[in-house]
A and B are shown apart, each in its own frame.
Chain A
Amino acid sequence: AQSVTQPDIHITVSEGASLELRCNYSYGATPYLFWYVQSPGQGLQLLLKYFSGDTLVQGIKGFEAEFKRSQSSFNLRKPSVHWSDAAEYFCAVVRTYKYIFGTGTRLKVLA
């Protein structure tokens, strides 16, 4: 069955430091992969998505993600974190109409 794992429940980084959020998926075919961000009490905002082609995907707010088929991973990165990046981040894989979400990683940014 398809699944998404985000192994880090909480991550804390200092402002200006680099960030990597991990996402591993289980899917039999070529996956469609997404990263969303959720601020407290808000809906989800799409950061970026991967369908095919270039395995390094650029998104909004300076985020990027790299699809690695050999590792079944789609990790999210940002070279320099801003305090406003504090939020919860969700990775998702699509199966037909259905998104399968990971349990999320909550990011805390220290000033």
Chain B
Amino acid sequence: SQTIHQWPATLVQPVGSPLSLECTVEGTSNPNLYWYRQAAGRGLQLLFYSVGIGQISSEVPQNLSASRPQDRQFILSSKKLLLSDSGFYLCAWSGTSGGAGDTQYFGPGTRLTVL
């Protein structure tokens, strides 16, 4: 069966520090991968998605970047964190049947607090 991991689970970082959040998927090949941010009372916002190694699409302009160095690894980064980067970050994967209804499966999330 497929599993998705995220780490760290919780992170507290000072403003201006770098960030690296990691997401890995097991039990599937060539998944689509996604990064979401969840801010209190604002639902989930899609930040990035990737359909293959090195292929990243950004949904919103921001202080963050994403990379996919391996098929089942997805990394969210920042060179300098802002207070507004605080939130709950969720990684998700889906199959690639090509249908719009490919179900997305979510990881446990990372709680980021920027002070």
- The residues of A with any CB-CB pair to B shorter than 8 Å are 9, 32, 34, 36, 41-46, 49, 51, 90, 94-99, 101-104
**What residues on A are CB-neighbors of B34 within 8 Å?**
97, 99
Contacts of A9 in B (CB 8 A): 41
The CA of A90 and the CA of B90, in the complex, are separated in Å by 14
- B43–A41 touching, CB < 8 Å: no
Question: Counting CB contacts under 8 A, is B26 at the interface?
Answer: no
Q: State the CA gap A41–B49 with chains docked (Å).
A: 22
Q: What is the CA–CA distance of A97 and B90 in the complex, to the nearest angstrom?
A: 16
A49 touching B103 by the CB < 8 A rule? yes
How many Å lie between the Cα of A98 and that of B46 in the bound state? 8
Contact in complex: B59, A98 (CB < 8 Å): yes
Most chain A beta-carbon neighbours within 10 Å: one of B46, B94, B103: B103
Number of interface residues of B (CB under 8 A): 25
Q: Give the CA-CA distance A5 to B34 in the complex, in Å.
A: 22
CB of B107 closer than 8 Å to a CB of A: yes
Cα distance, A52 to B6, chains bound together (Å): 33
B43 touches A46 (CB 8 A): no
CA distance A49 to B104 in the complex (A): 11
Asked if A103 and B59 make an inter-chain contact with CB atoms under 8 angstroms apart, the answer reads no
List, sorted by A's number, 17 A–B pairs whose CB atoms are closer than 8 Å.
Answer: A32-B101, A43-B6, A43-B107, A44-B90, A44-B92, A44-B106, A45-B106, A51-B101, A90-B43, A90-B44, A94-B100, A95-B100, A97-B94, A99-B34, A99-B104, A102-B43, A103-B42
**Is A98 touching B43 in the complex (CB atoms < 8 A)?**
no
Residues from chain B with Cβ under 8 Å of A101 in the complex = 43-44
Apart from A42-B108, A99-B44, 13 more pairs, CB < 8 Å: A9-B41, A32-B100, A43-B6, A43-B90, A43-B109, A44-B90, A90-B43, A95-B100, A97-B51, A99-B104, A102-B43, A103-B43, A104-B43
